[in-house]
Structure 1
């Protein structure tokens, strides 16, 4: 196991464009770090620099405190699992898993190789497939073979480059669980690249969100969700995504397209002098008014354009006209998030018991305490609470260490 530190890492290509621009990350021993962001944000380039497949233009990469910028990939003792599995079609599953051990000629006896292959196969439930060739395996099985090959190397860290993007939705869910379980059992430092924020939220101890080569925020999934630093992070994290509504500042209130929200306390001070802000509301924080509510909630009525009932939940779609003063900013954000430039609409995640139908004038409500407010010029989140963010970070780190300790005890009990 190892710690990995990135200090002001920059990658520029021939045209001088920085694909990765001044990224600094401190990845703890045994931590599961996710690199996430839309296409072209630099996450795969950053991973390839860590493993040694891309040169570092400037900055320092340290593994266990040792600078490794100039070390060849084979000398960094890192295991990489690729998107396309990179299996040898003429070798059996057992031979594919054993390949890196045989490549290190003379370092492992045949008995050691067989024991390591069996251990990896047991962990990944591949025992009955050991004599099969990759062509006869499903996508999920091939991915497990690729993971097995990484496991036997006893590497200091695992690096995953969008390993599940070739799998269907059901298999992706199963493999996410498999990868999380394996990482906890082995306690190996892991860096995992994905553009899928669901993978990021479910797998990572911490998630580094990148945009155009620049690190936006690195935090636990819960902190990213509850305390985003800016518009981009807030819009990228969460499914369905956060609703962004233009809001006029009128005295001690914010005037949204559907409702007026009273302003008080620190937020009132932060928006003083501004004519316009952007309010962020997550779909699940807007509720059906006919099913409840509390004092202090903001209630409003809106016409529902479309509904989708999914059994356990229901979505309602409510179009609105964006204020021209923030339209360009919202369109730019949509492009940054790989959006398709669809018309502006608010998504509401209703309780499955809701009887709201398309065409209805629905009574809805939300709590102002769950509202995020952003500066439309800088994108800064004006409602971020640094104390709450720090508390979430401490709690997440304690949970990470406790999970590793539980996994270690389970492994010790099995081997006893």
Structure 2
């Protein structure tokens, strides 16, 4: 295991463009950290700098306290799993897994190599495939072979570069479980790049969100979801993404396209009278008043539904609205940065599958204002972020990480001794 420290890391190419700009990140021993963001945000470049495949223009990279900027990849003792598996087609699964050890001539004898291959095969359920060639394996099996090859090296850290992007949805779900189980069992420090936020939210102890090479927020998945620092993070985390609505401050009220809600204290007392802010409400925080009772403190409103999508376990309803000119351009730009393809301003709500709303209906919906975020449109800052609650979520996440790691390692030791 290893502690990896990134201190003010910068990557500039020949034209001076900063693909990664002043990123500082401290990855704890045994921690699973996700690098996430839209296409072109610099996440893969940052990973390649850690492993040594990209030069660092400025800043320091430390592994266990040792500066490694100038070390070759082979001298950093890191193991990388690529998107395209990078298996040798003429070698068997056994030979592919053993390949890194056979390269290190003299370090391990044949018995030790076989023992490590067997251990990896046990962990990844590859025993029956050890004598097969990669061409005869499924995509998921090939990815497990690539992971096995990383395991046997006993490297200080694992680095994953979008390893599941070539798999179908079902296999991605299965492989997420395998990767999580493997990382907990081995307790190896892991840095994982993905554009898939389901992977980010389910795998990571902490998630680092990047935007145009700049680190926006590093936090547990729960903190990112509940206490985002700005518009970008709020819009990136969550599926469907958070709804952003124009919100005019009028005394102690916020005027939204469909209703008025009480203004949060920070907005009332912050000198925002008459200003147009941006309110953010997640789709899953709405409910159908015909299916669930409206609780005390909630705000209900009627809206014309354009289209619905019934998915079996939930129902999506789309409600168009006219965006205010002052915020429209910024929200359209944000949508483009988030790789979105919105063609119109609309409210997306996720309702109970029992809802009978269909396109064309006038629905009565409700949500609780305390679950609403309010953003400054000029800076993107989340005005309603609760720093104390964010601190508690961070402490809780770290406590759960340590408990899970200790339990997995104890179970692994029991299996070894048995």
C-alpha deviations, 1:26-51, integer Å up to 9, x for none? 00000000000000000000000000
Counterpart contact for 2:245–2:280, Cα < 8 Å: yes
Pair 1:98-2:98 in alignment: yes
Distance in 2 (CA, whole Å) between partners of 1:241 and 1:342 is 15
Aligned match of 1:132: 132
Q: What are the Cα deviations for residues 83-123 of structure 1, in whole angstroms up to 9, with x where unaligned? A: 00000000000000000000000100000000000000010
Contact 2:251-2:273 at 8 Å conserved across structures: no
Q: Is the 8 A contact 2:250 2:274 kept in 1?
A: no
1:270–1:382 Cα contact (<8 Å) kept: no
Alignment partners' CA distance in 2, 1:296 and 1:180: 40
Q: Aligned partners of 2:258 and 2:274: how far apart in 1?
A: 20
Q: Distance in 1 between matches of 2:405 and 2:15?
A: 44
Name the structure 2 match of 1:343.
Answer: 344
Aligned equivalents of 2:45, 2:239: Cα separation in 1 = 26
**2:148 paired with 1:145:** no
TM-score between both structures, scaled by the size of structure 1: 0.99
Residue of structure 2 in register with 1:218 after alignment: 218
Q: Post-superposition shift, 1:352?
A: 1.1
Aligned to 1:293: 294
In the alignment, is the contact (CA less than 8 A) between 1:249 and 1:271 conserved in 2? no
Residue-by-residue CA offset, 1:263-312 (whole Å, 9 max, x unaligned): 25233123624510000000010111122121111110001111111111
Task: Note the 1:168-247 alignment, pairs <5 A.
Answer: 168-247=168-247
Corresponding position: 1:378 with 2:397: no
Superposed, 1:16-415 pairs within 5 Å as 16-270=16-270, 272-273=272-273, 275-290=275-290, 291-415=292-416
CA distance in 1, matches of 2:120, 2:198: 27
Question: With structure 2 as the length reference, what TM-score do the two structures score?
Answer: 0.98
Provide the rounded CA distance (Å) in 1 between the counterparts of 2:262 and 2:151. Answer: 56
Write the deviation string for residues 122-162 of structure 1: whole angstroms up to 9, x where unpaired.
10000000000000100000000000000000000000000
- Cα shift at 1:412: 1.8
Counterpart-to-counterpart distance in 2, 1:264 and 1:336: 28
SS in 2 for 1:270: coil
Moved more, 42-51 or 336-345: 336-345
Distance 1:380 1:200 in 2: 23
Q: Secondary structure at the match of 1:272?
A: coil
Q: Contact between 2:52 and 2:73, CA under 8 Å: does it hold in 1? A: yes
Report the alpha carbon displacement of residue 349 of structure 1 after superposing the two structures with TM: 0.5
Q: How many Å separate the matches in 2 of 1:188 and 1:380? A: 35
Cα distance change on mapping 1:12 and 1:350 into 2, 3 Å:
same
Q: Conserved in 2, the CA contact under 8 Å of 1:100 and 1:149? A: yes
Number of residue-to-residue matches in the alignment: 416
Q: Structure 1: which 4+ aligned runs deviate by more than 4 Å?
A: none
Give the distance between the partners of 2:241 and 2:214, measured in 1 at CA. 21
| 8 Å Cα contact 1:225-1:238 kept in structure 2 | yes
Contact 1:185 1:404 (8 Å CA) reproduced: yes
CA distance in 2, matches of 1:368, 1:17: 42
Take 2:128 and 2:243, find their aligned partners in 1: how far apart are those partners? 48
Q: Is the 8 A contact 1:318 1:345 kept in 2?
A: yes
Distance 1:80 1:264 in 2: 47
CA separation in 2, counterparts of 1:144 and 1:274? Answer: 57
Separation in 1, partners of 2:342, 2:284: 23
Residues 163-198 of structure 1: CA distance to partner in whole angstroms, max 9, x if unpaired? 000000010000001000000000000000001111
Give 5+ residue unaligned stretches, structure 1: none
**Structure 1 residue 415: Cα displacement:** 2.1
Structure 2 spans left out of the alignment, 5+ residues:
none
